Amino acid sequence: MNAIVDISHLSARYGRTMALDDVSLQVDKGELFGVIGPDGAGKSTLYKILATLMPPASGGASVCGLDIVKDYRDVRSRIGYMPERFSLYKDLSVQENLKFFAALFGVSVKKNFDLIAPIFRQLERFPDRKAGALSGGMKQKLALSCALIHRPEILLLDEPTTGVDAVSRSEFWDILQSLKNQGITILVSTSYMDEANLCERIAMIDRGRILGTDTPARLVARLGERLFAARADNMFRLLEELRRLPQVKECYTFGANLHAVVSDDFDPQQAARMMEHCGLKGVSITPAEGTIEDLFIKLTANEQ
Amino acid sequence: MNNSEYAITVKDLTKKFGDFTAVDRITFDVRKGEIFGFLGANGAGKTTAMRMLCGLSVPTSGNGRVAGFDIVRQAEMIKRRIGYMSQNFSLYQNLTAEENLRLFGTIYGLSDREIKTRSQRLFQDLDMESMRGKRVGDIPVGWKQKLAFVAATIHLPEIVFLDEPTGGVDPVTRRKFWELIYKATADGMTVFVTTHYLDEAEYCNRVSIMVDGRIEALDSPDNLKKRYDADTMDEVFRMVAKNAKRAE
């Protein structure tokens, strides 16, 4: 094993609340690793602990072979951390923020500029603009530049694309892919399930516990449910009517369709006839392939 | 009351900041009871347009009516007749669920009795009885979102504006929130919503896509997919938005 991040029986608490409960996880060097889970699952707590900003209640972790508690100073120079909330200095300009972060880590902007050049190029047009006046997508690019300026071995990105549009998100993932190709290990959390598919491996986390760690394809294979896609002229009514059928275990919206998780005795033709009998028109119920999102819903829905 | 069949009508609405045209002659209508998805890339002008519709910003030119009132001359009336929920700020974390509703109800000029009966019914309908006395900061995010929607609609507005209501929210909570939207429109409310989750665009009756301050596409999700020969709204959005020239 070549684990660059090694988390072992890690627990964390806020008062009486267990934020992380016996979490163990290994991330390999050079891996693009996703952490997905609902709000309050413990994702940000995990990041804070790895970034040495919060001590664990029990258990521990090492980063690049360094202990996150004992060797916290050394850990900090090896990681680049981009927190969930925008955390640059809003009153400093684009250029000043970058210089400031370089100075904190004792490096020169010039020496490491090659690493951030593809990202920073889009910001160069307005070096004097205050960081607070940048748009969402640009803030995110500046934050990533600042997290990279000391050439860390590991990037910790906590929901970096929340509030970012689909086109900019694609660009951002292209950037992550190229950083990975340069040997940087990346831990990224997200609430977009399409992004989970872009990771080599993902850990699903809920209520402080790891529900599963594997490649997206192997996790989806664990779904193990009969799944159908359904459509009709009135989707909300269709949702209500399908939920009434005893053979339908779960039914939820899924883009232009509904997804229905059904038991073995479900007959799609019969169900379609019943829906039409309820007054719905243009009913279609066809077999569907499961996705990460279906698995996520299955694993977390009952608890909320 | 607004007797027109439209909750929003907008003609050539424009907003300039100096030389910069943030919103460039947009024209569209939203029918009463419709779920209207207002999409666009970051920096396309969505927020600026929405601020004008809510009476918070005066257009440079063009005109429009929201909930039956003129967005230039009757901005104050609009503010009273609409609901607004944003991703960033919606509720006071240090007040209880019930106190938040009382606060919003009072701001919108409801009587104590109205607030009391409506809150009671809403807590029952949403199965939130047990959350009533809890500090908002202490309740789970899924409930918080429902509560934010309820607070934004406690005065039974004709139309509610939702600005990225599901940003950063997990798939299960997002779905529950959309069911709430469906219910509200079944009761006749109009919903104007922005989102970056393009599966949610499929849940809208009609969708507009803004690029560089203009509305580049506007139709039902099915018609847009046909026109752009795409399988999903995600593909449609990418095709329309990739031509953006504006440097955010």
Q: Do B170 and A296 touch (CB under 8 A)?
A: yes
Domain that holds residue B217: 6-91+158-241
Domain match, A296 and A237 both? yes
Q: Which of A163, A254, A300 sits opposite B196 (nearest CB)?
A: A163
What percent of chain B stands above pLDDT 70?
Answer: 98
Residue B101 lies in a domain: no
Of B68, B52, B55, the closest CA to residue B8 belongs to B68
Q: What is the ipTM of this complex?
A: 0.81
Q: Do A167 and B242 touch (CB under 8 A)?
A: yes
Q: Do A167 and B182 touch (CB under 8 A)?
A: no
Q: Which of A162, A193, A256 sits opposite B167 (nearest CB)?
A: A162
Query: Is A274 at the interface with chain B, CB within 8 A?
Result: no
In whole angstroms, give the CA distance from residue B95 to residue A250.
Answer: 35
- CB < 8 Å from B in window 125-164 of A: 125, 134-138, 159, 162-164
Domain match, A185 and A253 both? no
Residue B188 lies in a domain: yes
Q: Do A191 and B169 touch (CB under 8 A)?
A: yes
Residue B195 lies in a domain: yes
Residue B118 lies in a domain: no
Q: Do A135 and B248 touch (CB under 8 A)?
A: yes
Q: Where are the alpha helices (DSSP H) in chain B?
A: 46-53, 75-81, 97-107, 112-125, 141-152, 171-186, 198-201, 221-227, 233-241
Domain match, A24 and A160 both? yes
Domain match, A271 and A296 both? yes
Q: How many domains does chain B have?
A: 1
Residue B150 lies in a domain: no
Selected for mutation to probe chain B from A159, A253, A258, A302 (highest B CB count within 10 Å) is A253
Domain match, A208 and A258 both? no
- pTM of the shown model: 0.85
- The model's pLDDT over A232-286, given as tens digits with 9 standing for 90+, comes to 999 999 999 999 999 999 999 999 999 999 999 999 999 999 999 999 999 999 9
Work out the minimum CA distance from B81 to partner chain A, whole angstroms.
27
Provide mean pLDDT across the span B36-60.
Answer: 93
Q: Do A166 and B237 touch (CB under 8 A)?
A: yes
For position B23, what pLDDT does the model report? 97
Work out the minimum CA distance from A1 to partner chain B, whole angstroms.
32
Q: For chain B, what is the mean pLDDT?
A: 91
Provide mean pLDDT across the span B64-77.
Answer: 95
Domain that holds residue A192: 3-220
Residue B116 lies in a domain: no
Residue B96 lies in a domain: no
In whole angstroms, give the CA distance from residue A16 to residue A126.
Answer: 47
Q: Do A256 and B202 touch (CB under 8 A)?
A: yes
Q: Which residue of A has its CA nearest to B178?
A: A253
Q: Do B168 and A301 touch (CB under 8 A)?
A: no
Q: Which residue of B has its CA nearest to A122?
A: B247
For position B1, what pLDDT does the model report? 57
For position A1, what pLDDT does the model report? 54
Q: Do B172 and A168 touch (CB under 8 A)?
A: no
CB B214 within 8 A of CB B26: yes
In A92-170 the beta strands, taken as DSSP E runs, fall at 154-157
Residues of chain B contacting A, Cβ within 8 Å: 40-43, 87, 140-142, 164, 167-173, 175-176, 178-179, 182, 186, 196-199, 202-203, 221-222, 225, 232-234, 237-238, 241-242, 244, 247-248
CB B151 within 8 A of CB B71: no
Domain match, A30 and A149 both? yes
Q: What is the CA radius of gyration of chain B?
A: 18
For position A278, what pLDDT does the model report? 94
- The model's pLDDT over A51-107, given as tens digits with 9 standing for 90+, comes to 999 999 999 999 999 999 999 999 999 999 999 888 899 999 999 999 999 999 999
Domain match, A201 and A260 both? no
Highest mean pLDDT among A38-47, A270-279, B138-147: A270-279
Query: Is A284 at the interface with chain B, CB within 8 A?
Result: no
Question: Which of the listed residues A195, A220, A245 is the one where a domain comes to its end?
Answer: A220
What percent of chain A stands above pLDDT 90?
Answer: 77
CB A192 within 8 A of CB A23: no
CB within 8 Å of B41: residues ≥ 6 apart: A137, A165, A167, A168, B210, B211, B241, B244
Q: Is the pLDDT of residue B248 over 60?
A: no
Query: Is A193 at the interface with chain B, CB within 8 A?
Result: yes
CB within 8 Å of A133: residues ≥ 6 apart: none
- The separation between CA A259 and the C-alpha centre of its own chain, rounded to angstroms, equals 23
Banded model confidence at residue A304, pLDDT cuts 50, 70, 90:
very low
Q: In this predicted structure, which of A118-132, A215-229, B13-27, B35-49 has the lowest mean pLDDT?
A: A118-132
In whole angstroms, give the CA distance from residue B67 to residue A285.
Answer: 39
In whole angstroms, give the CA distance from residue B179 to residue B158.
Answer: 18
> What per-residue string of b and e applies to B204-223 under the rule 16 or more CB within 10 Å gives b?
bebbbbbbbbbbbbbeebee
Please report, for the domain that includes residue B40, its CATH number. 3.40.50.300
In whole angstroms, give the CA distance from residue A173 to residue A161.
Answer: 9
Q: How many domains does chain A have?
A: 2
Domain match, A188 and A230 both? no
Of B107, B25, B101, the closest CA to residue B64 belongs to B25
In whole angstroms, give the CA distance from residue A127 to residue B141.
Answer: 38
Domain match, A209 and A231 both? no
- A86 chain-B contacts, CB cut-off 8 A: none
Q: Do B196 and A166 touch (CB under 8 A)?
A: yes
3-state secondary structure of A12: strand
Provide mean pLDDT across the span B202-231.
Answer: 96
- B233 chain-A contacts, CB cut-off 8 A: 255-256
In whole angstroms, give the CA distance from residue A240 to residue A236.
Answer: 6
Provide mean pLDDT across the span A284-291.
Answer: 95
Q: Which residue of A has its CA nearest to B239?
A: A167
Question: Which of the listed residues A202, A220, A238 is the one where a domain comes to its end?
Answer: A220
Question: Which of the listed residues A220, A255, A288 is the one where a domain comes to its end?
Answer: A220
In whole angstroms, give the CA distance from residue B218 to residue B228.
Answer: 12
- B248 chain-A contacts, CB cut-off 8 A: 134-135, 137-138
CB A98 within 8 A of CB A109: yes
Q: Which of A134, A256, A297 sits opposite B171 (nearest CB)?
A: A297
Work out the minimum CA distance from A70 to partner chain B, whole angstroms.
33
What percent of chain A stands above pLDDT 70?
Answer: 99
- A296 chain-B contacts, CB cut-off 8 A: 170-172
Q: In this predicted structure, which of A86-90, A120-124, A300-304, B170-174 has the lowest mean pLDDT?
A: A300-304
Angle (deg, nearest 10), helices A166-181 and A136-148: 10
Query: How far is residue B46 from each of residues B49, B161, B174, B201, B213, measured CA to CA in Å?
Result: 5, 12, 21, 15, 8
Q: Do A304 and B186 touch (CB under 8 A)?
A: no
Domain match, A84 and A137 both? yes
Look up residue B228 and give its DSSP letter.
T
Domain match, A206 and A266 both? no
Q: Do B203 and A192 touch (CB under 8 A)?
A: no
Q: Is the pLDDT of residue A303 over 60?
A: no
Residue B124 lies in a domain: no
For position A302, what pLDDT does the model report? 63
Cα-Cα-Cα-Cα torsion B7, B145, B170, A61, nearest 10 degrees, comes to: 150
Domain match, A122 and A186 both? yes
Banded model confidence at residue A147, pLDDT cuts 50, 70, 90:
very high
